Amino acid sequence: MTPLTTNGVLAAELPHVAAATGTASLAWLLFVLPAAGALVLFVAGRRADAWGHWLGVLTVAASFVIGLLIFLETAGLAPADRTRELSLFHWIAVGDLSVDFGLRLDPLSLTFVLLITGVGGLIHLYAVGYMAPHHGGDEGSDRAARRRFFAQFNLFITAMLLLVLGNNFVMLYLGWEGVGLASYLLIGFYQDRPSAATAAKKAFLMNRVGDVGLAIAIFIIWTNLGTLQYTEVFERIGELSAGTIVAITVLLLLGACGKSGQFPLQAWLPDAMEGPTPVSALIHAATMVTAGVYLIARTNPIYNLTETGRLVVALVGVITLLIGAIIGCAYDDIKKVLAYSTVSQIGYMVLAVGLGPAGYALGIFHLLTHGFFKAGLFLGAGSVMHAMHDDVDMRRYGGLARYMPITFVTFGLGYLALIGFPFLSGYFSKDEIIGAAFGQPGWQGWVFGGAATLAAGLTAFYMTRLMFMTFFGEKRWEKLKSDDGHDYHPHESPAVMTIPMIVLAFGSLGAGFVLSNGNLLVNWLTPTLGELEEPHGGALGHEYVPWLVVGFAALGVLIAWLTVGRRPTPVERPEPVSLPVRAARRDLYANAINEALIARPGTWLARALVYLDNRGVDGVVNGTAALLGGSSGRLRRLQTGFVRSYALSMLGGGVLVVAALLAVRFA
Amino acid sequence: MTPTYYLLLSALLFSIGAVGVLVRRNAIVVFMCIELMLNAVNLSLVTFARINGQLDGQVMAFFVMVVAAAEVVVGLAIIMSIFRTRRTASIDDSNLLKY
Amino acid sequence: MTLDLLAQAAPDPGAVSTGEAVVFWILGPISLLGALGMVFARNAVHSALALVGTMFSLAIFYIVQQAPFLGFVQIIVYTGAIMMLFLFVLMLVGRDSSDSVVEVLRGQRLAALVFGLGLAVLLVAAVGRSLTSVTPKGLPADGPGYSGNVTGLGAKIFTDYLFAFELTSALLITAALGAMVLAYAQGKSHAKRGQRATVEARLRGEHDRISPLPGPGVYATGNSVAVPAVLPDGSIAPESISAIIDATPVREIEDEPGPDARALTGGRHDDTAEESR
């Protein structure tokens, strides 16, 4: 148990930062390799069509190897020495602002490095198969598209690594915007689809809202402390007033909400499924959308100082996990169900980090296991779509288990992990979070824990519904044709796609057990995140939680079986439906609320400003011009062209001058 | 009587010349009025030279005469060329340079 | 000589002698009258003559005021040369184009009068108030440092005012050149047409007929330009005689007993001659 002040953790607990040596001094290769890959793929053009995708896979795999070496080296050090920094060069020096281009290698960032490069490498491999040119299609343009895809994918890996490796807020922001750019490019990857372009714009704009919050938080930090290095900021953050700290935490949370699809900025994430499935798996499930969780975990010394800020974070997480779970029950689009599941699961993580020292490590734990099983689920969904002519409507699936056994098994393992089937990944990580939530004192324990448990039941319901509709039941596709008029011929995907799925399935299966065995991950993260506080007291004892959660999940499965599994599924969406379902189908009116609260007033404001500009500002400008023009038009009538009238005015002037002289002289 | 009377006469002549410039329309007569004004100034200069007992005033008058001669030559040439093209010597007819 | 005496009569060079006062009171009104006459004379030539009178008066004033050189220059250059130039141009241009009585510019005359009177009043007031008790020094009539008006002026001009003097010479040259350029009448608008151009114009039908007019029959039947040329069929070519000489009765010529004419004209000359008239 760590000594707590009323305000939070003492600054003295911050880890000692050493200079990186040994293998760790090669850490710059981590992001330089994917960057080089992206550069080559962007620049080389058609010459790289044949081998470009393998270059992409190779660079990420190499990064993974380096990351693994650094990880092993770090693991060999004493826990107190595990936080190291590698300063590469002096990046920005403007006036008082001085920013290093430096890397921070500590347990937290290394965990992320392994997740990003490991899962990223697997999904790269999968994408080699997924993005392969279609037979009978336009092979040339397909190959060019694949090269473009891998270039942008490598760009994403680079930016994401910069985000987690940077040792200051500016590098964090650099990576933050980099992944935003890559996300925008990849969501809009299918440039010929207007829906993809719209989704990309939506994601970009809603991310901007969050990014503004992050930027302002960084500005506040710099204005008050004069530095942006993590080490110095965390040491001196206690000097600031409580109000400033709350402001910083809320603004950081806004940034996290934008990037992680949290309430109220969650609406972009489901639309982001317009991108290719590997993108959904890597960026919009496993890594980028967890950047918000990373941000809060990384700035834990700031959040430790403010109870209020953490409460806001936890509330946002609770609201989001409920929203995601409710909406996930209503969608028929397999990727959107998974997307809302992602929203919901990230809500769990945000709830966890919002619990403070009792939950940081749990949030990261769930992030890791979720990275495995959600990536696996998305890859499975991609495999199903691959088999079903890119159709995403689950009502047209059914009975696919027989045709795609590998996909079925790997997907099923991911499914079990997600719903928290005992002794699979999700069971460990999610139950820990729910337990920590119940461990909160007072009303918070009941509300947080209750909502999380309820959402766990809902998760079980919608995921079971998805399983039933996709892999079991009647083969509804036999009587249907795809949109482009083909019969469906479900088939298993090639090995290049199934191997990553299998590897990730092992992750879904065992990651939770391995990482929680002897509190492995929690202890590993202790130097960065502090000791994990065991919940004590609180609303509900820790020992009841697994029973409760598993019970709710079983209930969800049962309801799903009763409503979906044992009844035939109509191919057309049933209409009309009850009010809750209607609301869920419409994203709980999130888009309508955004439209009504933000977009419409924004449009009105813009129109009013345009009117003001046209009539007000332009009116003043044009009015001045018209006034001058009119008066000069009248004044020029004085120019009669008659020499004698000019002479007359000259004489008049002369008389005046003489009179003035005399007046001065003799007055 | 003092030389001041010459100055008063000069002032009157100058004013008459100025009025002439304003009321006459024949360009040549206008020119003559200008000459009258110059002569009035010359009278003043000569008188000043006398009052001050220095020749500089007369030198000034001398220069005024030279310049007036040059001016008359050019001015009359201009009047002639205008007359040649427009068949008029009235300065009111040369009023194209206006709004 | 008298004028010289008048200037030197006073013992004090600055004071005004009685003779000079007489001269002033006679010539001053004359010069004013001349000026007014110049402004108000309808005829431009009268204006010029009135101005000549004023300038003469002024020349005498110069001489009286110890500036004999300027006085003579005034007479020779101004009244002699410049005013003659004025008259010359007047004769060339606008002697008969006297001003119309109607004033086109509204209020111009009234305003001119007001301003002119105002200026006069102001100047007179200024001079009157500031120069009431002035004792004029006058130029030294003789004695050391004085070697005559012309010599003094020359010394001044070629020493103190040398630069200005040189500038005036440049000004005079420029003025002379400018006057030549402006007054040179020969334009390029009446360039002569060459023979080729004339022929082409004829063939294009720009003239009344394609050929030149036939010459008179000077060498055919007689040596008079009044004798018309005769066409090959014996008839008279009417165009051969200038329109001015058309008044000459051709019939008389034809009636003259000239053997050559009859021989060439045959029997039909009478009718043609009638028609040609």
Contacts of A642 in chain C (CB under 8 A): 104-105
Rounded CA gap, C181 and B77, in Å?
A: 9
For chain B, say whether C152 makes contact (Cβ under 8 Å). yes
Chain-centre distance for alpha carbon A142: 28
Cβ–Cβ < 8 Å for A556, A382: no
Nearest CA in chain B to C87: B28
Alpha-carbon distance C153 to nearest alpha carbon in chain B (angstroms): 7
Alpha-carbon distance B50 to nearest alpha carbon in chain A (angstroms): 24
In-domain check, residue A325: yes
Residues 6+ apart with CB under 8 A from C8: C141
Query: Per the structure block, which two tokens stand in for A139?
Result: 């092979």
Rounded CA gap, A192 and B50, in Å?
A: 102
For chain B, say whether C123 makes contact (Cβ under 8 Å). yes
pLDDT of residue C76: 92
Alpha-carbon distance B96 to nearest alpha carbon in chain C (angstroms): 16
For chain A, say whether C85 makes contact (Cβ under 8 Å). no
In-domain check, residue A369: yes
Cis peptide upstream of residue A576 (ω within 30 degrees of 0) = yes
Instruction: Please tell me the total count of domains within chain A.
Output: 2
In-domain check, residue A253: no
pLDDT of residue A503: 87
Point out the residues of chain A with pLDDT beneath 70: 1-13, 135-138, 535-540
Domain identity same for A530 and A645 = no
In a 10 Å sphere around its CB, with 0-12 CB exposed, 13-18 middle and 19+ buried, how is residue C224 labelled?
middle
Rounded CA gap, B38 and B32, in Å?
A: 10
Q: Across-strand partners of A101?
A: A89
pLDDT of residue A562: 86
Rounded CA gap, A28 and A113, in Å?
A: 12
Helix-helix angle A442-471:A307-328, to 10 degrees: 30
- Could you tell me the CA-to-CA distances from A332 to A49, A127, A398, C135, C151 in Å, in that order? 36, 24, 12, 121, 122
Query: Per the structure block, which two tokens stand in for A255?
Result: 């940034």
Contacts of A651 in chain B (CB under 8 A): 18, 22
Q: Do B96 and A641 touch (CB under 8 A)?
A: yes
Domain of A317?
306-585
Chain-centre distance for alpha carbon C183: 12
Domain identity same for A515 and A658 = no
Name the domain boundary from A528, A558, A585.
Answer: A585
Query: Is residue C87 predicted with pLDDT exceeding 80?
Result: yes
Nearest to A429 by CA among A524, A512, A372: A512
Rounded CA gap, A658 and A151, in Å?
A: 86
Nearest to B24 by CA among A15, A11, C99: C99
Cβ–Cβ < 8 Å for A71, A202: no
Domain identity same for A579 and A605 = no
Nearest CA in chain C to A654: C119
- Could you tell me the CA-to-CA distances from C117 to B12, B42, C120 in Å, in that order? 9, 21, 5
Nearest to A148 by CA among A137, A136, A156: A156
In a 10 Å sphere around its CB, with 0-12 CB exposed, 13-18 middle and 19+ buried, how is residue A418 labelled?
buried
For chain C, say whether B17 makes contact (Cβ under 8 Å). yes
DSSP state letters, C153-214: HHHHHHHTTHHHHHHHHHHHHHHHHHHHHHH----STTPPPPHHHHHHHHHTT-SSSSSPPP
How many C-beta neighbours within 10 Å does residue A627 have?
10
Best mutation target, A643, A646, A648, A650, to test chain C (most C CBs within 10 A): A648
Contacts of C108 in chain B (CB under 8 A): 22-23
pLDDT of residue C167: 93
Q: Do B56 and C54 touch (CB under 8 A)?
A: no
The identity of residue C225, as a single letter, is V
Residues 6+ apart with CB under 8 A from A40: A48, A52, A55
Percent of chain B topping pLDDT 90: 55
Q: What is the pLDDT of residues C136-149, one digit of tens each?
A: 777 766 555 566 78
Query: Per the structure block, which two tokens stand in for A554?
Result: 């079983």
Rounded CA gap, C44 and C54, in Å?
A: 15
pLDDT of residue C165: 93
Domain identity same for A357 and A452 = yes
Q: What is the pLDDT of residues A427-467, one digit of tens each?
A: 888 888 888 888 888 888 888 888 988 999 999 998 998 88
Domain identity same for A539 and A635 = no
Q: Do B83 and C94 touch (CB under 8 A)?
A: yes
In-domain check, residue A82: no
Nearest CA in chain B to A637: B99
Q: How many residues does chain C have?
A: 277
Q: Which chains share 3+ C-beta pairs under 8 angstroms with A?
A: B, C
Domain identity same for A581 and A657 = no
pLDDT of residue B62: 93
Domain identity same for A489 and A461 = yes
pLDDT of residue A173: 93
Nearest to B22 among A639, A641, A647 (CB): A647
> CA torsion angle for A509, A514, A519, A524 (degrees, to 10)?
-110
Cβ–Cβ < 8 Å for A425, A372: yes
Domain identity same for A458 and A573 = yes
Rounded CA gap, A499 and A123, in Å?
A: 10
Nearest CA in chain B to C171: B70
Domain identity same for A464 and A367 = yes
Alpha-carbon distance C113 to nearest alpha carbon in chain A (angstroms): 10
Nearest CA in chain C to B88: C94
pLDDT of residue C186: 63
A with C: how many residue pairs have Cβ under 8 Å apart? 35
Query: Is residue C190 predicted with pLDDT exceeding 70?
Result: no
For chain B, say whether C235 makes contact (Cβ under 8 Å). no
Domain identity same for A631 and A500 = no
Q: Do C174 and B8 touch (CB under 8 A)?
A: no
Q: Do B25 and A644 touch (CB under 8 A)?
A: yes
Is ipTM over 0.90?
yes
Domain identity same for A605 and A555 = no
Nearest CA in chain C to B47: C65
Rounded CA gap, C141 and C14, in Å?
A: 10
Sign of CA dihedral C198, C202, C206, C211: positive
Alpha-carbon distance A666 to nearest alpha carbon in chain B (angstroms): 18
Name the domain boundary from A558, A585, A612.
Answer: A585
Q: Do C70 and B65 touch (CB under 8 A)?
A: yes
Contacts of A643 in chain C (CB under 8 A): none
Query: Is residue C259 predicted with pLDDT exceeding 50?
Result: no
β-strands A18-19, A84-94 pairing: parallel
Q: What is the pTM of this model?
A: 0.62
Q: What is the pLDDT of residues A624-665, one digit of tens each?
A: 999 999 999 888 888 888 888 899 999 999 999 999 988 888
Name the domain boundary from A529, A554, A585.
Answer: A585
Which residues 23-62 of B have a C-beta within 8 angstroms of C? 23-29, 31-33, 35-36, 39, 42-43, 46-47, 49-56, 58-59, 61-62
